[in-house]
Every structure is written in structure tokens, then in C-alpha cells.
Amino acid sequence: DPNPGADPGADPDPGADPNPGADPDPGPGADPDPGPGADPGSCSGNSVERKIYIPLNRTAPCVRLLNATHQIGCQSSLSGDTGVIHVVENATDLDWALSTGPHPPYMILLDGKLFSREILMRLKGNPRISGLAVAAVSPAPSGGFSPGLKCPNDGFGVYSQDYGPQFSHCNGSAWNPAGSGLSYEDFPFPIFLLEDANETQVIKECYRAHNVPREGSAPQFPLCAMQLLAHMHAAASTVTCMRRSSLQSTFSINPEIVCDPLLDYNVWSSLHPINSSGKVDPGQQLILAATRLDSHSFFWNVAPGAEASVGSFVALLAAAEALQAAPGSRRLPRNVLFAFFQGETFDYIGSSRMVFDMEQEKFPLRLENIGAFLELGQVSLRQDSVLWMHTDPVSRQNRSVDSQVRDLLAALVNSSSGSGVSVREPGFSQPLPPSSFQRFLRSRRLPGVVLSDHRAAFQNK
């Protein structure tokens, strides 16, 4: 980064001023002997490092993400942030780090049960905190946990001032009541998940040996400290970051990557072949069967939320395989396009790209060719083997759309009889849950149904 000083993440960084290396003992290790840390100049840096540091091997960072206007997520300063370890096993343990302890900045080792919005917001505003390591909880908390929004994809679906304003901002239907919104906050310090309970134990032992206040008085140096390093060059907003990236690649011999686009590929395939270099005849109608491929998580590459999307994309893959193997499928009057969308959590980037390509004639189909849309939402946690058929009350005000939707509902009811799964409608005036179908509806009033295991709020907590 040619201009780290302009990095907003670097300024409020408490780790930068009280340089922990200047302490009598940097002591991040379990080594009780202050000797080697006090005089690092006299011997080889590597062997000192090996004596005083214990590397953590199973961790996952929270990373920084940008959109057009904001930054969210976490980062450390360039060389990592350091602080005296303080273990927090219940909320009252926080006071020591937040106000009374004499050795700030503190690195908090937080019990996973306390990883909540309330506690993180208290830490976020306090300059005495230099970072956070969260011990994974197992089994998962029974009340559920979601760092997403109560109203996922708010503002990027179909409902707005101009289209069903009574339904915009999830009015009257909170789909994700457990959502804390933590994934959308901007934290000025690094946050890591500790995935291995044994490693958490190593840190706790060092804390107990050196850092616990004895008989009310503060512990003396040497203290046990921890350094967390997850520097992110990206800052401020996508616009800023892309400008810096292009400066780097223009003027530097070894350009440093400042930020990466969120990038992946939608996957699609059809029952009957489609000539991908031609155009499907405008009169030909097919069925688009769609689902999403991924989920978002607070910690990099640790994705408990995948549970919500895996059930549906495995089901759609199975349907595609079964259908092409079924006798008579060649003679079906309508072709079926199976589509798997990427990155839907982030403003529906997968489905909105396909809609864009269809509108720009960069796809073998046009929106007009979609005779019916069938989407699998979250389908794996059925209660009493019920699937709910969600439809859009606004487009159904049009008689012709409504009659096509009714045909679709009738076909689903018909085909579910005897299958052990019953399908039901949630009620005519309920809007669609967050779904890729909403992005298609923004461009054209297509008849469509979203199947899910939840009638209103998500079952999957």
C-alpha cells in the first residue's frame, strides 16, 4: 500500500502507540524467564522468537470487505496487533480489560458463548482493546447464531417504494430474527476464531500462570501477551481500493494486490441441449429451476451457514440427474434450465448477473423465454414434511400472471401427492422470502414459486 497513513483502519489502532516491544518483556510466550525477551539484540532473532513465541496453528480470521461506499469486517495493523491476554468467560470479566486493568492494550480471549452483538459493540468502541480471539463453541448454541441481517439482502430484492412498498425492508416478515448484523460492522482490530480447543487451552494456561490479578492487585511483568496479524490493504470503499490497485500496477515493478473482486461463476445446464452460440426462439418457453450455491460467514473459510444452501443445491443436482435419466424426458414439451447462483448473499450478484446478461443478449435465452421459475430456498429442515410455496402477491395482481402461478402451484401439489412431502401456501398476502427470483421479478413479471422449509422466519437458526 503506497499510502498506509490514509488507511482509516490504521488510525484508531491502539496497538500502534504503546509499543509492546518496549515493555520489559514482550513475553508473548509461555516462557517465564524474562531474560531472552529483554535483550533481543545479543542473539539471533530467530532463536529468540522460537523461545518466546508459540504459534497458533488452527485459526480463522475475520476479513475486510468493501462495497461502493463502506468497509466492513476486521483487520490488524501492518505488523500485527499485540496486547496483554485477558480471558473473558463471563460478561463481568470484561471490566478489567475495558476499564480497571493497568496494562492496556488488552487482547481478549472470548468464550464463544459470549460472541454476541452486545459484547462486540462494547469492545469496538474501546481503545484499550487491541484484538479478539474467539474460542469456538461446540456444540453450536441452541438459540442459534447469525452474523447476518434480520432482513437479508435488504434493498436489493424486488420490494421497494415502487413495487409493493408495504413489503419493503421486510415489513411484517422478519426472515432472520436471529440476525445480529455483526458481519456488517467495521471493527478497528483483528478478530480470529480459535478452532482447536487444545490451542485455546495453551493460551489460558499462560494467562493463568502470569496474568490473573492476585488478591485484587494487578499482576506484575512478565505478562503473557498475544499478537494477531491479519493486515488488509483494502480500505474505505471499492472505488478507493480499485484506484489504489491501478496506481500500484501502473507505477510499481512488483505491484502489490490491494484488493480482490468478489469473483466466481454461476453454473447452468439444460435438460435438452441449448445452442449456446445462438439464440433460443422467442416463442419457446422453458422452466428455470434455480438455487444458490454459497453462504456468508463471519470467519474466513469457516461456513456453518453452508447448511442452509447445501440442502437445496444437492436436491437440485439430484433432480437434474433424475430427470435426464427418466424415460420420456426427451419428449417433455418444455426444456428445463438448471441454474446455480454464486454470491447471492452479497446483493444477489450471481442472479443479477444472469438477468443482466439476458437483457444484454449475452445469454442464449431472453427473460421472455422463461415460462416459469422454480427456486429451492432453504429446504432441509422440514417440519412434518411440509414445504411452503412462496409466491409474489404483487405480480399476482395481474390476472394472467396469477393464472400461470396457479397452474404452477397446482402442478406442484399434484406431483407431491404420494411423495411423503406435502406442499402448502403460506397465505396470499405474504411477500417472497429473500430469493434469486426477486432479481428476475425486478426486470419482468414472471410466474414463479420459491419452495422452502419455513413458512415465515427461517427454521435454520
Ligand X SMILES: *[C@@H]1O[C@H](CO)[C@@H](O)[C@H](O)[C@H]1NC(C)=O
* Cβ proximity to ligand X, 225 vs 423, nearer residue: 225
Contact window for ligand X (CB under 6 A) among 61-69, 290-298, 310-318, 321-329: 61-69
84-143: contacts with ligand X (CB under 6 A) = none
Among 8, 19, 32, 70, binds ligand X (CB under 6 A): 70
- Is 196 a binder of ligand X (CB under 6 A)? yes
C-alpha cell at 340: 446455480
Shortest Å, Cβ 448 to ligand X: 12
> Which span (159-167, 196-204, 206-214, 226-234) binds ligand X, by CB under 6 A?
196-204
Q: How far apart are CA 112 and CA 298, in angstroms?
A: 13
How far apart are the C-alpha atoms of 449 and 416, rounded to whole Å? 15
CB of 57 to ligand X, least distance (A): 4
User: What H or E segment, with its residue span, contains residue 373?
Assistant: strand 370-376
Give the strands of the sheet with 336-341, arranged side by side: 267-270, 336-341, 286-292, 370-376, 448-452, 386-390, 422-424
Asked if 105 contacts 18 with a C-beta cutoff of 8 angstroms, the reply is yes
Q: Which of residues 344-403 bind ligand X (CB under 6 A)?
A: 398, 400-401
How many residues touch ligand X under the rule CB under 6 A: the total is 21
Q: In terms of Cα–Cα distance, which of 340, 336, 286, 335 is closest to 312?
A: 340
Residue of 184, 310, 393, 457 interacting with ligand X (CB under 6 A): 184
Q: How far is the CB of 202 from ligand X (least distance, A)?
A: 4
Whole-angstrom distance, CA of residue 352 vs CA of residue 349: 5
Residue closer to ligand X by CB (options 55, 420) is 55
Q: Which is nearer to ligand X, 46 or 277 (CB)?
A: 277
Report the alpha-carbon angle 360-290-173, nearest 5.
105
Q: Residue 199, interface with ligand X (CB under 6 A)?
A: yes
445 binds ligand X (CB under 6 A): yes
Residue (55 or 418) nearer to ligand X, CB: 55
Residue type present at position 337: L
Which of positions 137-176 make contact with ligand X (CB under 6 A)? none
**Chain center to CA of 369:** 33
Task: Supply 145's cell numbers.
Answer: 447464531
Q: What is the 3-state secondary structure (H, E, C) of 46-73?
A: HHHHHHHCCCCCCEEECCCEECCCCEEE
CB of 281 to ligand X, least distance (A): 11
Answer yes or no: are the C-beta atoms of 382 and 416 closer than 8 Å: no
Q: How far is the CB of 400 from ligand X (least distance, A)?
A: 5
- Closest approach of Cβ 189 to ligand X, in Å? 18
Shortest Å distance, C-beta 251 to ligand X = 29
E strand residue ranges, 229-297: 267-270, 286-292
Mask for 262-301, x = binds ligand X (CB under 6 A): -------------x-xx-----------------------
Of positions 22, 41, 68, 253, contacts ligand X by CB under 6 A: 68
Please report whether residue 409 would count as binding ligand X according to CB under 6 A.
Answer: no
- How far is the C-alpha of 458 from the C-alpha of 208, rounded, in Å? 42
Q: Residue 53, interface with ligand X (CB under 6 A)? A: no
Could you give the CA distance from residue 267 to residue 98 in angstroms, rounded to a whole number? 48
Closest-by-Cβ residue to ligand X is 278
Is 67 a residue that touches ligand X (CB under 6 A)? yes
3 binds ligand X (CB under 6 A): no
Q: How far is the CB of 23 from ligand X (least distance, A)?
A: 22
Please pick, from the candidates 55, 143, 283, 418, the single residue that binds ligand X as defined by CB under 6 A. 55
Tell whether residue 22 is a contact of ligand X (CB under 6 A).
no
Q: How far apart are CA 230 and CA 352, in angstroms?
A: 32
Beta strands in 298-452 (DSSP E): 336-341, 370-376, 386-390, 422-424, 448-452
Distances in Å between the Cα of 384 and the Cα atoms of 308, 312, 342, 387, 422 are 18, 18, 30, 9, 9
Contact 451, 375 (CB under 8 A): yes
* Torsion sign (Cα): 157, 161, 164, 165: positive
Among 16, 30, 38, 72, binds ligand X (CB under 6 A): 72
Name the residues that contact ligand X, by CB under 6 A.
54-57, 67-70, 72, 184, 196, 198-199, 202, 275, 277-278, 398, 400-401, 445
